[in-house]
Structure 1
Amino acid sequence: MDTTTSVREQILDHAITLIMMRGYNGFSYRDLSSLVGVKTSSIHYYFPSKDDLVLEAVSTYSSEVQSTLKGIDESLPAEVRLGKYTKLFGRTLGDGHQICLCGMLAADIETLPDNIRQAVQAFFKANEKWLAKVLAEGAQAGTLAVNGKAENAARALFAAFQGSVLASRLFNTKARLEDVEASVRIGR
Protein backbone atom coordinates (compact mmCIF):
# COMPACT_ATOMS: atom_id res chain seq x y z
CA MET A 1 0.00 0.00 0.00
CA ASP A 2 1.24 3.48 -0.92
CA THR A 3 1.85 5.46 2.28
CA THR A 4 2.41 8.85 0.63
CA THR A 5 -1.31 9.37 0.02
CA SER A 6 -4.23 8.58 2.27
CA VAL A 7 -6.32 5.47 1.75
CA ARG A 8 -9.23 7.70 0.72
CA GLU A 9 -7.08 9.42 -1.94
CA GLN A 10 -5.82 6.07 -3.23
CA ILE A 11 -9.37 4.74 -3.50
CA LEU A 12 -10.45 7.84 -5.37
CA ASP A 13 -7.42 7.83 -7.70
CA HIS A 14 -7.91 4.17 -8.60
CA ALA A 15 -11.65 4.68 -9.05
CA ILE A 16 -11.01 7.54 -11.48
CA THR A 17 -8.61 5.39 -13.49
CA LEU A 18 -10.99 2.42 -13.54
CA ILE A 19 -13.91 4.59 -14.63
CA MET A 20 -11.79 6.09 -17.42
CA MET A 21 -10.90 2.58 -18.58
CA ARG A 22 -14.09 0.61 -17.93
CA GLY A 23 -16.94 2.98 -17.14
CA TYR A 24 -19.41 3.04 -14.27
CA ASN A 25 -20.46 -0.58 -14.56
CA GLY A 26 -16.97 -1.94 -15.22
CA PHE A 27 -15.51 -1.87 -11.73
CA SER A 28 -16.41 -2.87 -8.19
CA TYR A 29 -15.30 -2.22 -4.65
CA ARG A 30 -13.59 -5.62 -4.84
CA ASP A 31 -11.41 -4.29 -7.70
CA LEU A 32 -10.53 -1.26 -5.62
CA SER A 33 -9.80 -3.28 -2.49
CA SER A 34 -7.20 -5.36 -4.33
CA LEU A 35 -5.61 -2.27 -5.90
CA VAL A 36 -5.42 -0.31 -2.64
CA GLY A 37 -4.79 -3.28 -0.36
CA VAL A 38 -7.72 -2.75 1.98
CA LYS A 39 -10.95 -4.59 2.72
CA THR A 40 -14.11 -3.51 0.93
CA SER A 41 -15.52 -2.46 4.31
CA SER A 42 -12.75 0.16 4.44
CA ILE A 43 -13.89 1.54 1.11
CA HIS A 44 -17.47 1.68 2.38
CA TYR A 45 -16.19 3.69 5.36
CA TYR A 46 -15.02 6.46 3.02
CA PHE A 47 -17.65 6.01 0.31
CA PRO A 48 -20.80 4.31 1.64
CA SER A 49 -22.06 3.57 -1.88
CA LYS A 50 -20.59 3.32 -5.34
CA ASP A 51 -22.69 6.34 -6.30
CA ASP A 52 -20.99 8.38 -3.55
CA LEU A 53 -17.60 7.34 -4.88
CA VAL A 54 -18.44 8.07 -8.51
CA LEU A 55 -19.92 11.47 -7.66
CA GLU A 56 -16.72 12.36 -5.78
CA ALA A 57 -14.66 11.10 -8.73
CA VAL A 58 -16.62 13.33 -11.14
CA SER A 59 -16.23 16.29 -8.80
CA THR A 60 -12.49 15.76 -8.39
CA TYR A 61 -11.92 15.18 -12.11
CA SER A 62 -14.03 18.19 -13.08
CA SER A 63 -12.20 20.43 -10.64
CA GLU A 64 -8.83 19.31 -11.99
CA VAL A 65 -9.86 19.92 -15.60
CA GLN A 66 -11.38 23.32 -14.80
CA SER A 67 -8.25 24.28 -12.88
CA THR A 68 -6.14 23.34 -15.89
CA LEU A 69 -8.35 25.39 -18.20
CA LYS A 70 -8.13 28.40 -15.88
CA GLY A 71 -4.36 27.98 -15.97
CA ILE A 72 -4.25 28.49 -19.73
CA ASP A 73 -3.15 32.08 -20.26
CA GLU A 74 -6.07 34.05 -21.71
CA SER A 75 -3.67 36.43 -23.43
CA LEU A 76 -2.51 33.64 -25.74
CA PRO A 77 -4.04 33.57 -29.22
CA ALA A 78 -7.19 31.45 -29.45
CA GLU A 79 -5.59 28.84 -31.70
CA VAL A 80 -2.75 28.36 -29.17
CA ARG A 81 -5.26 27.89 -26.34
CA LEU A 82 -7.13 25.39 -28.48
CA GLY A 83 -3.86 23.53 -29.02
CA LYS A 84 -3.33 23.36 -25.26
CA TYR A 85 -6.86 22.02 -24.89
CA THR A 86 -6.12 19.30 -27.43
CA LYS A 87 -3.01 18.34 -25.47
CA LEU A 88 -5.15 18.11 -22.33
CA PHE A 89 -7.28 15.46 -24.05
CA GLY A 90 -4.08 13.73 -25.15
CA ARG A 91 -2.83 13.58 -21.56
CA THR A 92 -6.19 12.15 -20.53
CA LEU A 93 -5.80 9.43 -23.12
CA GLY A 94 -2.42 8.59 -21.59
CA ASP A 95 -1.06 5.36 -22.97
CA GLY A 96 -4.22 4.84 -24.98
CA HIS A 97 -6.25 2.79 -22.51
CA GLN A 98 -8.45 5.43 -20.95
CA ILE A 99 -10.71 8.25 -22.04
CA CYS A 100 -12.25 11.31 -20.43
CA LEU A 101 -13.96 10.24 -17.22
CA CYS A 102 -17.11 12.22 -17.99
CA GLY A 103 -17.12 11.03 -21.58
CA MET A 104 -17.01 7.45 -20.36
CA LEU A 105 -19.78 8.12 -17.87
CA ALA A 106 -21.88 9.78 -20.57
CA ALA A 107 -21.89 6.41 -22.34
CA ASP A 108 -23.34 4.89 -19.15
CA ILE A 109 -25.88 7.69 -18.67
CA GLU A 110 -28.93 5.40 -18.52
CA THR A 111 -27.53 3.57 -15.50
CA LEU A 112 -26.41 6.65 -13.59
CA PRO A 113 -28.36 8.26 -10.76
CA ASP A 114 -29.59 11.82 -11.39
CA ASN A 115 -26.94 13.55 -9.25
CA ILE A 116 -24.10 11.93 -11.21
CA ARG A 117 -25.89 12.59 -14.49
CA GLN A 118 -26.18 16.28 -13.57
CA ALA A 119 -22.50 16.44 -12.58
CA VAL A 120 -21.50 14.93 -15.94
CA GLN A 121 -23.76 17.39 -17.77
CA ALA A 122 -22.19 20.27 -15.81
CA PHE A 123 -18.73 19.07 -16.90
CA PHE A 124 -19.80 19.04 -20.55
CA LYS A 125 -21.39 22.49 -20.27
CA ALA A 126 -18.29 23.99 -18.60
CA ASN A 127 -16.04 22.66 -21.36
CA GLU A 128 -18.41 23.84 -24.07
CA LYS A 129 -18.54 27.31 -22.49
CA TRP A 130 -14.73 27.52 -22.44
CA LEU A 131 -14.52 26.33 -26.04
CA ALA A 132 -17.22 28.80 -27.16
CA LYS A 133 -15.16 31.69 -25.82
CA VAL A 134 -12.01 30.45 -27.54
CA LEU A 135 -13.83 29.80 -30.81
CA ALA A 136 -15.48 33.24 -30.79
CA GLU A 137 -12.11 34.92 -30.22
CA GLY A 138 -10.46 32.78 -32.90
CA ALA A 139 -13.23 33.54 -35.38
CA GLN A 140 -12.88 37.25 -34.69
CA ALA A 141 -9.11 37.03 -35.20
CA GLY A 142 -9.56 34.95 -38.34
CA THR A 143 -7.58 31.99 -37.01
CA LEU A 144 -10.41 29.54 -36.24
CA ALA A 145 -13.33 28.57 -38.46
CA VAL A 146 -16.74 28.84 -36.84
CA ASN A 147 -19.93 28.23 -38.78
CA GLY A 148 -22.88 29.85 -37.03
CA LYS A 149 -22.92 30.62 -33.33
CA ALA A 150 -19.78 29.93 -31.31
CA GLU A 151 -21.88 28.09 -28.70
CA ASN A 152 -23.20 25.63 -31.29
CA ALA A 153 -19.73 25.16 -32.77
CA ALA A 154 -18.34 24.56 -29.27
CA ARG A 155 -20.87 21.80 -28.60
CA ALA A 156 -19.99 20.15 -31.89
CA LEU A 157 -16.27 20.53 -31.26
CA PHE A 158 -16.50 19.10 -27.74
CA ALA A 159 -18.48 16.16 -29.10
CA ALA A 160 -15.78 15.68 -31.73
CA PHE A 161 -13.06 15.70 -29.05
CA GLN A 162 -15.00 13.13 -27.01
CA GLY A 163 -15.45 10.96 -30.08
CA SER A 164 -11.83 11.36 -31.05
CA VAL A 165 -10.61 9.91 -27.76
CA LEU A 166 -12.79 6.87 -28.38
CA ALA A 167 -11.33 6.49 -31.86
CA SER A 168 -7.82 7.20 -30.57
CA ARG A 169 -8.26 4.42 -28.04
CA LEU A 170 -9.65 2.09 -30.71
CA PHE A 171 -6.81 2.73 -33.17
CA ASN A 172 -4.13 3.39 -30.53
CA THR A 173 -3.14 6.79 -31.94
CA LYS A 174 -3.50 10.37 -30.78
CA ALA A 175 -3.67 11.59 -34.37
CA ARG A 176 -7.46 11.56 -34.13
CA LEU A 177 -7.27 14.36 -31.55
CA GLU A 178 -5.05 16.41 -33.80
CA ASP A 179 -7.51 15.91 -36.66
CA VAL A 180 -10.27 17.49 -34.58
CA GLU A 181 -8.17 20.52 -33.75
CA ALA A 182 -7.07 20.88 -37.37
CA SER A 183 -10.70 20.88 -38.52
CA VAL A 184 -11.27 24.37 -37.07
CA ARG A 185 -7.88 25.95 -37.73
CA ILE A 186 -7.54 28.43 -40.57
CA GLY A 187 -4.32 28.74 -42.56
CA ARG A 188 -2.42 25.99 -40.85
Structure 2
Amino acid sequence: MEPTTTVRDQILDHAITLMMLRGYNGFSYRDLSGLVGVKTSSIHYYFPSKDDLVLEAVNQYSSGILAALGSIDASLRADQKLSKYTKLFGRTLGEGDQICLCGMLAADIEALPDNVRAAVQAFFKANESWLAKMLAQGAKEGTLNVNGKPEHVARTLYAAYQGSVLASRLFRTKARLEEVETSWKLSK
Protein backbone atom coordinates (compact mmCIF):
# COMPACT_ATOMS: atom_id res chain seq x y z
CA MET A 1 0.00 0.00 0.00
CA GLU A 2 1.45 3.36 -1.02
CA PRO A 3 1.60 6.15 1.53
CA THR A 4 -0.89 8.91 0.94
CA THR A 5 0.47 12.21 -0.26
CA THR A 6 -0.28 15.05 2.09
CA VAL A 7 -1.63 18.41 0.93
CA ARG A 8 1.69 19.93 1.96
CA ASP A 9 3.59 17.43 -0.22
CA GLN A 10 1.27 18.10 -3.16
CA ILE A 11 1.81 21.85 -2.79
CA LEU A 12 5.59 21.36 -2.78
CA ASP A 13 5.56 18.98 -5.74
CA HIS A 14 3.46 21.34 -7.84
CA ALA A 15 5.51 24.36 -6.79
CA ILE A 16 8.72 22.62 -7.83
CA THR A 17 7.26 21.68 -11.20
CA LEU A 18 5.87 25.16 -11.82
CA MET A 19 9.20 26.78 -10.95
CA MET A 20 11.06 24.34 -13.22
CA LEU A 21 8.69 25.38 -16.02
CA ARG A 22 8.20 29.09 -15.31
CA GLY A 23 10.65 30.31 -12.67
CA TYR A 24 10.18 32.10 -9.37
CA ASN A 25 7.84 34.79 -10.66
CA GLY A 26 5.94 32.46 -12.99
CA PHE A 27 3.49 30.98 -10.50
CA SER A 28 1.19 32.06 -7.70
CA TYR A 29 -0.66 30.52 -4.80
CA ARG A 30 -3.77 30.74 -6.99
CA ASP A 31 -2.07 28.44 -9.53
CA LEU A 32 -1.23 26.00 -6.75
CA SER A 33 -4.72 26.09 -5.25
CA GLY A 34 -6.19 25.05 -8.60
CA LEU A 35 -3.71 22.19 -9.00
CA VAL A 36 -4.02 20.88 -5.44
CA GLY A 37 -7.73 21.61 -5.01
CA VAL A 38 -7.45 23.72 -1.87
CA LYS A 39 -8.03 27.37 -1.07
CA THR A 40 -5.07 29.74 -1.11
CA SER A 41 -5.55 30.22 2.62
CA SER A 42 -4.74 26.52 3.05
CA ILE A 43 -1.47 27.05 1.21
CA HIS A 44 -0.68 30.00 3.47
CA TYR A 45 -1.28 27.70 6.45
CA TYR A 46 1.62 25.49 5.34
CA PHE A 47 3.74 28.23 3.78
CA PRO A 48 2.95 31.70 5.14
CA SER A 49 4.88 33.38 2.31
CA LYS A 50 6.01 32.46 -1.16
CA ASP A 51 9.59 32.76 0.06
CA ASP A 52 8.89 30.09 2.70
CA LEU A 53 7.47 27.82 0.03
CA VAL A 54 10.37 28.39 -2.37
CA LEU A 55 12.97 27.74 0.33
CA GLU A 56 11.30 24.47 1.29
CA ALA A 57 11.02 23.51 -2.39
CA VAL A 58 14.74 24.14 -2.92
CA ASN A 59 15.59 22.14 0.20
CA GLN A 60 13.41 19.21 -0.85
CA TYR A 61 14.70 19.27 -4.44
CA SER A 62 18.30 19.56 -3.27
CA SER A 63 17.93 16.71 -0.79
CA GLY A 64 16.51 14.45 -3.49
CA ILE A 65 19.23 15.23 -6.01
CA LEU A 66 22.04 14.93 -3.47
CA ALA A 67 20.62 11.62 -2.24
CA ALA A 68 20.62 10.38 -5.84
CA LEU A 69 24.27 11.46 -6.20
CA GLY A 70 25.09 9.67 -2.97
CA SER A 71 23.50 6.49 -4.29
CA ILE A 72 25.87 6.31 -7.27
CA ASP A 73 28.12 3.34 -6.66
CA ALA A 74 31.47 4.66 -5.41
CA SER A 75 33.31 1.67 -6.90
CA LEU A 76 32.40 2.65 -10.48
CA ARG A 77 34.94 4.21 -12.83
CA ALA A 78 34.63 7.98 -13.17
CA ASP A 79 33.33 7.81 -16.75
CA GLN A 80 30.56 5.49 -15.56
CA LYS A 81 29.71 7.89 -12.74
CA LEU A 82 29.57 10.72 -15.28
CA SER A 83 27.06 8.72 -17.33
CA LYS A 84 24.86 8.22 -14.28
CA TYR A 85 25.12 11.93 -13.47
CA THR A 86 24.05 12.79 -17.02
CA LYS A 87 21.03 10.49 -16.74
CA LEU A 88 20.14 12.11 -13.43
CA PHE A 89 20.35 15.55 -15.03
CA GLY A 90 18.29 14.26 -17.97
CA ARG A 91 15.45 13.24 -15.67
CA THR A 92 15.18 16.91 -14.73
CA LEU A 93 14.07 17.73 -18.27
CA GLY A 94 10.84 15.77 -17.90
CA GLU A 95 9.10 16.02 -21.26
CA GLY A 96 11.76 18.45 -22.42
CA ASP A 97 10.03 21.52 -21.01
CA GLN A 98 11.68 21.82 -17.59
CA ILE A 99 15.12 22.77 -16.35
CA CYS A 100 16.88 22.20 -13.04
CA LEU A 101 14.99 23.99 -10.27
CA CYS A 102 18.13 25.61 -8.90
CA GLY A 103 19.31 26.53 -12.40
CA MET A 104 15.98 28.23 -13.04
CA LEU A 105 16.13 30.04 -9.72
CA ALA A 106 19.72 31.12 -10.37
CA ALA A 107 18.37 33.05 -13.35
CA ASP A 108 15.97 34.80 -10.95
CA ILE A 109 18.65 35.39 -8.30
CA GLU A 110 17.94 39.11 -7.85
CA ALA A 111 14.30 38.37 -6.99
CA LEU A 112 15.17 35.79 -4.33
CA PRO A 113 15.51 36.42 -0.61
CA ASP A 114 18.95 35.82 0.90
CA ASN A 115 18.07 32.45 2.46
CA VAL A 116 16.82 31.05 -0.86
CA ARG A 117 19.85 32.48 -2.66
CA ALA A 118 22.10 30.73 -0.12
CA ALA A 119 20.25 27.43 -0.61
CA VAL A 120 20.63 27.67 -4.40
CA GLN A 121 24.33 28.48 -4.02
CA ALA A 122 24.75 25.49 -1.68
CA PHE A 123 23.12 23.24 -4.29
CA PHE A 124 25.53 24.47 -6.98
CA LYS A 125 28.53 24.02 -4.67
CA ALA A 126 27.47 20.49 -3.69
CA ASN A 127 27.19 19.46 -7.34
CA GLU A 128 30.51 21.08 -8.20
CA SER A 129 32.18 19.35 -5.25
CA TRP A 130 30.84 15.95 -6.32
CA LEU A 131 31.96 16.58 -9.89
CA ALA A 132 35.44 17.67 -8.73
CA LYS A 133 35.92 14.39 -6.88
CA MET A 134 34.68 12.42 -9.85
CA LEU A 135 36.95 14.39 -12.24
CA ALA A 136 39.99 13.84 -10.00
CA GLN A 137 39.22 10.13 -10.07
CA GLY A 138 38.80 10.19 -13.86
CA ALA A 139 42.10 12.01 -14.36
CA LYS A 140 43.86 9.45 -12.18
CA GLU A 141 42.22 6.53 -14.02
CA GLY A 142 42.65 8.09 -17.44
CA THR A 143 38.92 7.78 -18.21
CA LEU A 144 38.07 11.51 -18.34
CA ASN A 145 39.61 14.50 -20.07
CA VAL A 146 40.57 16.86 -17.24
CA ASN A 147 42.75 19.83 -18.16
CA GLY A 148 43.35 21.83 -14.99
CA LYS A 149 42.45 21.64 -11.34
CA PRO A 150 39.44 19.37 -10.81
CA GLU A 151 37.68 22.10 -8.78
CA HIS A 152 37.94 24.60 -11.65
CA VAL A 153 37.03 22.05 -14.29
CA ALA A 154 34.04 20.94 -12.17
CA ARG A 155 32.62 24.48 -12.25
CA THR A 156 33.01 24.53 -16.03
CA LEU A 157 31.42 21.12 -16.38
CA TYR A 158 28.52 22.01 -14.10
CA ALA A 159 27.95 25.22 -16.06
CA ALA A 160 27.93 23.11 -19.22
CA TYR A 161 25.26 20.83 -17.73
CA GLN A 162 23.11 23.77 -16.64
CA GLY A 163 23.49 25.41 -20.05
CA SER A 164 22.75 22.17 -21.85
CA VAL A 165 19.37 21.80 -20.15
CA LEU A 166 18.49 25.32 -21.30
CA ALA A 167 19.46 24.43 -24.86
CA SER A 168 17.73 21.04 -24.60
CA ARG A 169 14.55 22.82 -23.56
CA LEU A 170 14.92 25.38 -26.33
CA PHE A 171 15.47 22.76 -29.04
CA ARG A 172 13.31 20.06 -27.39
CA THR A 173 16.09 17.48 -27.52
CA LYS A 174 18.20 15.76 -24.88
CA ALA A 175 21.05 15.54 -27.38
CA ARG A 176 22.48 18.80 -26.04
CA LEU A 177 22.77 17.24 -22.60
CA GLU A 178 24.30 14.03 -23.92
CA GLU A 179 26.92 16.04 -25.83
CA VAL A 180 28.23 17.43 -22.54
CA GLU A 181 28.99 13.96 -21.25
CA THR A 182 30.67 12.72 -24.43
CA SER A 183 32.94 15.78 -24.65
CA TRP A 184 34.58 14.87 -21.32
CA LYS A 185 35.11 11.17 -21.88
CA LEU A 186 38.34 9.86 -23.35
CA SER A 187 37.94 7.43 -26.22
CA LYS A 188 39.04 3.90 -25.48
1:67 matches 2:81: no
1:44-59 alignment runs, 5 A limit: 44-59=44-59
1:119 matches 2:113: no
Match of 1:29 in 2: 29
**Quick one: distance in 2 between partners of 1:153 and 1:182?**
15
Match of 1:20 in 2: 20
**Quick one: distance in 1 between partners of 2:79 and 2:37?**
45
Question: Displacement of 1:178 after TM fit?
Answer: 0.8
1:130 matches 2:130: yes
Q: TM-score, normalised by structure 1?
A: 0.97
Question: Displacement of 1:94 after TM fit?
Answer: 1.1
Q: SS at 2:4's partner residue?
A: coil
Match of 1:4 in 2: 4
Question: Displacement of 1:147 after TM fit?
Answer: 1.0
**Quick one: distance in 1 between partners of 2:174 and 2:8?**
32
Q: SS at 1:4's partner residue?
A: coil
* Cα RMSD for the two superposed structures: 0.9
Question: Displacement of 1:4 after TM fit?
Answer: 2.8
Match of 2:149 in 1: 149
Question: Displacement of 1:61 after TM fit?
Answer: 0.3
Deviations 1:103-145 (A, max 9, x none): 0000000110000000000000000000000001001111101
Match of 1:80 in 2: 80
**Quick one: distance in 2 between partners of 1:79 and 1:24?**
34
Deviations 1:137-174 (A, max 9, x none): 00111110111100000000000000000000000000
Q: Tell me, which stretches of 5 or more residues in structure 2 are unaligned?
A: none
- AA matched with 1:41: S
**Quick one: distance in 2 between partners of 1:169 and 1:96?**
5
**Quick one: distance in 2 between partners of 1:67 and 1:116?**
20
Q: SS at 1:126's partner residue?
A: helix
Deviations 1:53-93 (A, max 9, x none): 00000000000000000000000000000000000011110
Runs of 4+ in 1 over 6 A off after TM superposition: none
**Quick one: distance in 2 between partners of 1:145 and 1:97?**
30
**Quick one: distance in 2 between partners of 1:91 and 1:141?**
28
Deviations 1:22-71 (A, max 9, x none): 00000000000000000000000000000000000000000000000000
1:154-165 alignment runs, 5 A limit: 154-165=154-165
Percent of aligned pairs sharing the same letter: 75
**Quick one: distance in 1 between partners of 2:71 and 2:14?**
25
